[in-house]
Amino acid sequence: MRHFLSLFDVSDDELKRIFELGRQLKTRLKSGVREPILQGKVAGLLFEKPSLRTRVSFEAGMAQLGGSSLFLGEDVGWGKREAPQDFSRVIGQYLDVIVCRAKSHDKVETLAKYADTVIINGLTDLCHPCQALADLMTIHEEFGTLKGQKLTFVGDGNNVSRSLALACAKMSMQFTLAHPKGYEIEQEFIDRILKVVPDAKIDQTSDPIAAVEGACAVYTDVWASMGQEAEQAKREKDFADFQVNQKLMDAAAKDAIFLHCLPAKRGQEVTDEVMDCPTSRIVEQAGNRMHAQKGLLVWLLTEAVDKVHLD
């Protein structure tokens, strides 16, 4: 049994296969083909945080693959009514896969330790691997390849940027983070990436103009994520010079696209002009959450356990 708690859980070749499956399934869906590859499989969506894209994309994806899903919110009492190990052991008997969206990465790891079923990280404070799958799938669709491309993230060294740094390293891409001082990705995480991909090209700088030079994609996120509302005023001040606007996009590669994991605070981290420009791919990127995750689900529940190989 395999889990997907972070991109460290898959090899480079396995990640490529997940992308390949996602692209195949997206093409088939456009042709009106919905194969019941996961018929009878049940996914539980165990969420501590609000969600639009993660919840709907997984629920729709499971349905299109012939399976079903259950949304498990606060009413199930995760971490409140009973010990984590008791909860995990019980719920693991009912479900084939659990998509967990948690405030703490430790909670997802505890779930994986005790639940006898596949666990997918739908977002934690440490990383957001499913988002990175959709992001790189979108870049591949735009440019036909990932190898040698440069992705620049303008903002915080947060869960999204950590996952992107790792995903880019695995796919032989260059990753640059443009951040205010004090908001970089911690060296411990960078060192962990370098241990897996020694030749990874990861840069961090406080100069956003220099950071986007040569980038095929410029990416940003809100300045204060869920749980950081108390820091909003300070972060608005610290990130004031890191807004993605047309001037910054003009400093990137001529054909550069704009990406955002959404939801966005228009007028703060990004302008309306950039959000709605012809090179914005935020809608396609959000759509690819479902397609990339379908590839992940099929891989985890079939190929990763040597049952089926989709061609």
The pLDDT-based confidence of 228 (bands split at 50, 70, 90) is: confident
Provide the strand spans (E) within the chain: 42-47, 68-72, 97-101, 118-123, 150-154, 174-178, 201-205, 217-220, 257-260
pLDDT exceeds 70 at position 55: yes
In this structure, are 149 and 54 located in the same domain? no
160: Cβ contacts below 8 Å, ≥ 6 apart: 128, 131, 132, 153, 221, 261
Residues 218 and 262 in one domain: yes
Which value, to the nearest 10 degrees, does the dihedral of the CA atoms of residues 72, 78, 84, 89 take? -30
pLDDT for 306 beyond 80: no
> Both 260 and 180 in a single domain?
yes
Same domain, 158 and 54: no
Instruction: For residue 60, report the phi and psi dihedrals to the nearest 5 degrees.
Output: -65, -40
Asked if residue 310 is part of any domain, the answer here is no
* Band (291; pLDDT cuts 50, 70, 90): very high
User: Quick one: pLDDT at residue 310?
Assistant: 52
- The question of whether 131 is a catalytic residue gets the answer yes
Res 311: pLDDT = 54
For the chain, give the longest Cα–Cα distance.
55
In tens, the pLDDT along 75-127 reads 899 988 999 999 999 999 999 999 999 999 999 999 999 999 999 999 999 99
Percent above pLDDT 90 for the chain: 92
Dump pLDDT digits (tens) for 191-203. Answer: 999 999 999 999 9
pLDDT of residue 259: 99
Strand locations in 22-67 (E): 42-47
50 and 168 inside one domain: no
- Are 206 and 97 found together in one domain? no
Residues 80 and 146 in one domain: no
In this prediction, residues 227-256 reach a mean pLDDT of: 93
Q: Does residue 301 belong to any structural domain of this protein? A: yes
Please give the backbone phi and psi of residue 228, each rounded to the nearest 5 degrees, phi first: -110, 20
Active site residue 261: yes
| Candidates 55, 105, 179, 289; catalytic one | 289
Q: Residue 102: inside a domain, yes or no?
A: yes
Report, as an integer, the average pLDDT of 62-70. Answer: 98
Segment 151-183, tens digit of pLDDT: 999 999 999 999 999 999 999 999 999 999 999
Active site residue 276: no
**Which one of the listed residues 101, 105, 140, 162 is annotated catalytic?**
101
Amino acid 79: pLDDT: 83
Predicted confidence (pLDDT) at residue 209 exceeds the cutoff of 80? yes
Q: Is residue 71 part of a domain?
A: yes
Residue 308, pLDDT above cutoff 80: no
Q: Quick one: 154 and 139 in the same domain?
A: yes
- Write the CATH number for 36: 3.40.50.1370
Per-residue pLDDT at 21 exceeds 80 = yes
Residue list for the binding site: 101, 128-131, 159, 221, 225-226, 261-262, 289
Domain extent, residue 36, equals 7-128+289-305
Residue 28 known to be catalytic:
no
Residue 86 known to be catalytic? no
Let me know if 309 is a catalytic residue. no
Same domain, 245 and 100: no
Residue 182 lies in a domain: yes
Q: Is residue 2 part of a domain?
A: no
Q: How many domains does the chain have?
A: 2
- 204 pLDDT above the threshold of 90: yes
**162 and 251 housed in the same domain:** yes
Q: Can you read off the two tokens belonging to residue 101?
A: 């969206």
Tokens 């990406």 locate to 259
Using pLDDT thresholds of 50, 70 and 90, give the confidence band for residue 224. confident
What pLDDT shows up at residue 114? 97
Does 205 lie in the same domain as 265? yes
Residue ranges of the annotated binding site for L-ornithine are 159, 221, 225-226
* pTM of structure: 0.96
